[in-house]
Structure 1
Amino acid sequence: MKKRTRKIIKCLLVVIFMLFIFYMSSREGDKSTGDSSAVINFIKIYLGIDLDMISNGNASFIVRKTAHATEYMVLFILIYMVTKEYENIKRKVLLSLIITICYSISDEVHQYFVPGRDMRIFDVMVDSTGALIGVILLKIKNRLKKIHL
């Protein structure tokens, strides 16, 4: 595949994923709560794990924050894949991290205007943690690559 085509595809993946996050954040609070409940029920039915019992009724909170962290870990990795295509960018990881965190902040501002949703600095911290997990996974991958595993 040509380098230009590869860059375009990677950029499109970032935009599509950002649009997915925007869409999920655009859903009103009760719909978002319904999504969390569906995940909790799925885990209970198919894995036999009662998250509400294990977490003293905090299952919805745990599912939501895990979703936040996972979304932004994936976003960081996708953005990094784009920056990696440009040899003249020296601090690819840092730039990818900054872009991811800035998107998280903009997403929280967006949620301020969605009925039943709130703008929370805590969610930016959870999103940033997800991005940092992406950095750690990237470093582990690169280290394994160096020792030929």
Structure 2
Amino acid sequence: MKKILLLYLLIMIALFSSSPNLTVGDPTSWIERPIYASKVDMLFLFNSDSEFYEPYNLFTDRTVPNRKIGHIIVYACLALLFFANFQHFRLPFRFLFAWVLTTLVGFCDEINQYFIVGRDGRIMDVALNSVAALVILITLALLIIKKSRQLSPKSDLKL
């Protein structure tokens, strides 16, 4: 079931990412056929003046907070699903792989959005996605540590 949920979320991210002119408040715009911008190539990644590296303007675009909350929720869930699907790895590696893969998916998502008409991929979103994943994974790690300490016998050793 965990693999299916992970695959489903990855597909939904790809579909939403490829929808031109996506508007949070308009469900009819959520999944549309992608329209790719012409005359755009991967060189934007190497151009510091590219829109990819520009910050958002919270004063001119009031929808930014709602869209960013969506990023936080989706990428936190993605990190948890990656973590849940790496049961054959030792715990520290599960956290690391979940965070790295979530960040990589976020990076690929933003690159894809850069090529879609009406969308704008931003490095700030990659950072937001990565931080959301890191926060949820640290929270999970703290919960696991707390639970393991409650289950283990008391020791005189102090950490």
Larger Rg: 2
- Matches of 1:90 and 1:127 in 2, distance apart? 20
Q: Is the 8 A contact 2:19 2:116 kept in 1?
A: yes
Tell me the percent identity: 28
Question: Of 70, 95, 100, which aligns to 1:67?
Answer: 70
> C-alpha deviations, 1:90-143, integer Å up to 9, x for none?
611101111111111110111112111012100001101110121122123213
Q: Residue 11 of structure 2 corresponds to which residue in structure 1? A: 19
State how 1:1-149 maps to structure 2 within 5 Å. Answer: 9-29=1-21, 31-35=22-26, 59-83=62-86, 85-87=87-89, 91-148=93-150
Gaps of 5+ in 2: 28-57, 152-159
Moved over 3 A (4+): 33-36, 55-59, 87-90
Which amino acid is 1:67 matched to? Answer: G
Aligned partners of 1:141, 1:74: CA distance in 2, in Å?
16
Alignment partners' CA distance in 2, 1:102 and 1:108: 10
For the residues of structure 2 that align with 1:14 and 1:133, how far apart are their CA atoms? 19
Calculate the aligned-residue CA RMSD, in Å.
Answer: 2.5
Q: Tell me the TM-score normalised to structure 2 length.
A: 0.66
Q: What residue ranges of structure 1 are gaps of 5+ in the alignment?
A: 1-8, 37-54
Paired residues, number: 121
- Quote the Cα distance in structure 1 between the aligned partners of 2:94 and 2:15: 27
Q: State the Cα distance separating 1:35 from its structure 2 match.
A: 4.2
User: Relative to structure 1, is the Cα distance of residues 132 and 87 closer, same or farther in structure 2, using a 3 angstrom cutoff?
Assistant: closer
Change (3 A) 1:138 1:125: same
